[in-house]
Amino acid sequence: MTVIEPDGRRVASYTVGDLFDLPDDGNRYELCDGVLLTTPVPAPLHQRIVCRLLGILDDALPDELEALPAVNVRVSGRDFYIPDLVVVHEKSVERVGLMFSPRDLLLVVEVCSPSTMKQDEGLKAVAYAQAGIPSYWRIEPDEGPALYVYELKGDRYEPPVVHKAGAVARMAVPVAVEFDPAVLCVRR
């Protein structure tokens, strides 16, 4: 688990297997190229947005697709993520044990918070594209909220289409769905 840098510094490098040895301390642990990413459990507004979007997707998805919150995604032995929400084929839910593979995912959604902004906007957008995940949605609560929709072209996402609160966002992938991003923050 230890890597020696050219200048002699020791730097920790983790594998997905190492995650099982970490403490159950309320943090979420992810890996990017062996680097440990640690974030606290999401705040209530973050969770509200995930729940509202889950409901919207559940209503729009055909029976063979399913939206799930906070699943494990193993990209490689040194890359592991826990997206806020994913859309998968129902068949993959029944065959997958603890971790999904990127090939199981049709859509990945991340709701940004101050502690994850740079990761969600940059690092995860690149990682999800390189893993071949067809669609990535990033939600920025502080922008009203705003929904950033990325679609895969080759091994990269096209620049995102931005949908601001107050206007209806229309998406076709992975399913036809329409909603105003503002509804994601509204109380029931």
What b/e readout covers 159-181, taking b as 16+ CB neighbours within 10 angstroms? ebeebebeeebebeebeebebbb
Q: What is the 3-state secondary structure (H, E, C) of the chain?
A: CEEECCCCCEEECCCHHHHHHCCCCCEEEEEECCEEEEEECCCHHHHHHHHHHHHHHHHHCCCCEEEEECCCEEEECCEEECCCEEEEEHHHHHHCCCCECHHHEEEEEEECCCCCHHHHHHHHHHHHHHCCCCEEEEEEHHHCCEEEEEEEECCEECCCEEEECCCCEEECCCCCEEECHHHHHCCC
pLDDT of residue 3: 46
pLDDT of residue 97: 83
Cα distances from 31 to residues 3, 27, 53, 137, in angstroms, run: 15, 13, 25, 20
Q: Which position has the higher pLDDT, 129 or 1?
A: 129
pLDDT of 73 strictly over 50: yes
pLDDT of residue 66: 94
Minimum mean pLDDT range among 29-43, 97-111, 131-145, 148-162: 29-43
Instruction: Give residue 4's pLDDT band: very low, low, confident or very high (50, 70, 90).
Output: very low
**Average pLDDT score over the chain:** 88
What b/e readout covers 17-52, taking b as 16+ CB neighbours within 10 angstroms? ebeeeeeeeeeebbbbebebbeeeebeeebebbbeb
Instruction: Give residue 174's pLDDT band: very low, low, confident or very high (50, 70, 90).
Output: confident
pLDDT of residue 42: 84
pLDDT of residue 156: 92
Taking a C-beta distance cutoff of 8 angstroms, is the pair 86, 73 a contact?
yes
pLDDT of residue 1: 44
Residue position matching structure tokens 């999904």? 100
